[in-house]
A and B are shown apart, each in its own frame.
Chain A
Amino acid sequence: MGTCMARKGFLTLSDCGNPAVTSCSTCARPMCTMHLAPQSGFTQCLDCAARDPNVKPQADDDYDGVWAHRYRNDYYSSSSYRPYYYGSSYSDTYYDDQDVRSFDDDVNGQAAVEDDTETGGFQAS
């Protein structure tokens, strides 16, 4: 089945990479359980469900995966924000509407968190 083809994140984007369990009934891309919409009976990916205006959150004020993906799509299209994409699927046409910025290959794949004592918060000097 391969790996999940969803792009995760909001501030920056990366490939999910989890083992896929099924293919989306709309776009046929392999998806893991985390990126399938419960509203569809776990047959449709969150991206496709988010693009379908008939798919609602599971309950009022339920900021579920569909809501988060829909927020992401709306934010990217209404603002000038272009997130960095750390993945490898630049040729995936599903995300043609996402205007992303890429990193060079030598930066991709670096350990996300290293041991460092600088907190980077309001007390940083």
Chain B
Amino acid sequence: MSVLKVYRSLDAEQKRILAEKQVDLNRPIAELLTLLKPIAACDRVADKARTRLGCTFGAGIVLTIILTFFVAGNFGGLAAIAVLLIGLTIIIGSGWLWFWTKKIDLSNNMRDFVLPVLSVIREDVDSNEPVHVKLDLRSPTSDAKRTSKSDPYKSGAYYKVIDSMYVDPWMEFEGALTDGTKLSWRITDTIRERQKTKRNPRGKIKTKTKYAKKSDIEVAVGLRNKTYAIGSDAGDVKSGDKRNTVQMYHRHRSASLDPIPTEALIGLITAVYSKTRPAGKEA
């Protein structure tokens, strides 16, 4: 299915989310998933299309030049102009589409983390209560998220190294579960981008970019006192009249910009439940 066709099938709200790349909604979880899944599908189609469009753009330039000269030499100027016009149409069209798919590109956190996590806990969430989801789906290394950029420095064989730091608070969730638990989490990525430039033995200048990412995952699980008692090894517990809130934290490190695995969050939440027992039961 072409990316334009998929895009046209989206409603106004979904197109707005694609354009602004921000989600801040209070909806029942089923409604949220119904809203977000087509957006993710459009993003997936656009990502695939962008690869093909890039190749078409590059090949179009080369072929247009070669064919124009060939046709001019063998068939005359008018035919060459026609070939040139057709070639330019393909080049401009594919170039425009490439930039447009780039403009609507969403962070892969949406497809590879947000949707699977919401799908896993869908039946745990109280379907009558809205959940609050806040997402920042801009690229993790967008200019708006850059917090610092170093001056160029030397390091080993690399004569120019530039470090840029980014902070990306890309997800917050708050919702009530069917067992009365209040669940919330927030995830913030801190990314260091290192661009290293060197001259190889053949004299060519080569630049490589490496990433180091730390994902800080904070989870708060508010367990009803009437339902659950918490073990003494539960960690950071804030006691209340009606519920005890267990706060857990995990830092996930990665050498790429790929989304964190869903288990990084799910494991934290299940770790809290594992430390509970029915209220009133002996430990």
Q: Which residues of A contact B148 (CB under 8 A)?
A: none
Q: Which residues of A contact B208 (CB under 8 A)?
A: none
- Which B95-117 residues have a C-beta within 8 angstroms of A? 111-112, 115-116
- The smallest C-beta distance from B5 to any residue of chain A, in angstroms, reads 15
- Which A70-120 residues have a C-beta within 8 angstroms of B? 71-72, 75, 79-84, 86, 103-104, 107, 110-114, 116, 118-120
Chain B's closest residue to A68 (CB) is B119
Q: How many residues of A contact B (CB 8 A)?
A: 40
**Which of A3-11, A20-28, A47-55 is found at the contact surface with chain B?**
A3-11
Chain B's closest residue to A75 (CB) is B266
- The smallest C-beta distance from A120 to any residue of chain B, in angstroms, reads 2
Assembled-state Cα–Cα distance A118/B221 (Å): 12
- The smallest C-beta distance from A32 to any residue of chain B, in angstroms, reads 12
Find out whether the CB atom of B226 lies under 8 angstroms from the CB atom of A12: no
**Which of B57-65, B120-128, B159-167, B197-205 is found at the contact surface with chain A?**
B120-128
Chain A's closest residue to B228 (CB) is A84
Q: Which residues of B contact A14 (CB under 8 A)?
A: 178
Assembled-state Cα–Cα distance A110/B279 (Å): 12
**B270 an interface residue at 8 Å Cβ cutoff?**
yes
Q: Contacts A63-B115, A103-B278; is A68 near B120 (CB within 8 Å)?
A: yes
Find out whether the CB atom of B40 lies under 8 angstroms from the CB atom of A61: yes
Q: Interface SS of chain A: helix, strand, loop or mixed?
A: loop
Q: Which residues of B contact A111 (CB under 8 A)?
A: 180
- Give the residue of A72, A104, A110, A120 whose beta carbon is less than 8 angstroms from that of B220: A120
Q: How many residues of B contact A (CB 8 A)?
A: 52
- Give the residue of A63, A79, A119, A124 whose beta carbon is less than 8 angstroms from that of B270: A79
Find out whether the CB atom of B174 lies under 8 angstroms from the CB atom of A121: yes
Chain A's closest residue to B223 (CB) is A120
- Give the residue of B121, B174, B263 whose beta carbon is less than 8 angstroms from that of A10: B121
- Give the residue of B238, B247, B278 whose beta carbon is less than 8 angstroms from that of A104: B278
Assembled-state Cα–Cα distance A125/B240 (Å): 7
Find out whether the CB atom of A72 lies under 8 angstroms from the CB atom of B120: yes
Find out whether the CB atom of B41 lies under 8 angstroms from the CB atom of A120: no
Assembled-state Cα–Cα distance A118/B112 (Å): 32
Q: Which residues of A contact B184 (CB under 8 A)?
A: 119-122
- Give the residue of A83, A104, A113, A119 whose beta carbon is less than 8 angstroms from that of B126: A113
Q: Interface SS of chain B: helix, strand, loop or mixed?
A: mixed
**B213 an interface residue at 8 Å Cβ cutoff?**
no
**B156 an interface residue at 8 Å Cβ cutoff?**
no
Q: Which residues of B contact A64 (CB under 8 A)?
A: 119
Find out whether the CB atom of A114 lies under 8 angstroms from the CB atom of B180: yes
Assembled-state Cα–Cα distance A103/B179 (Å): 12
Assembled-state Cα–Cα distance A116/B225 (Å): 12
- The smallest C-beta distance from A14 to any residue of chain B, in angstroms, reads 7
Assembled-state Cα–Cα distance A82/B49 (Å): 43
Find out whether the CB atom of B279 lies under 8 angstroms from the CB atom of A11: no
Q: Which residues of B contact A125 (CB under 8 A)?
A: 238, 240
Q: Contacts A84-B179, A86-B179; is A120 near B121 (CB within 8 Å)?
A: no
Assembled-state Cα–Cα distance A105/B240 (Å): 25
- The smallest C-beta distance from B236 to any residue of chain A, in angstroms, reads 11
Q: Contacts A82-B274, A112-B179, A118-B243; is A124 near B238 (CB within 8 Å)?
A: yes
Supply 11 further A-B pairs (C-beta < 8 A) apart from A71-B120, A120-B184. A60-B44, A63-B119, A75-B263, A79-B270, A104-B280, A112-B177, A114-B180, A119-B184, A119-B222, A122-B247, A124-B243
Q: Which residues of A contact B (CB under 8 A)?
A: 8-12, 14, 59-64, 67-68, 71-72, 75, 79-84, 86, 103-104, 107, 110-114, 116, 118-122, 124-125
Q: Which 3 A-B pairs have the closest CB atoms?
A: A120-B222, A120-B182, A63-B119
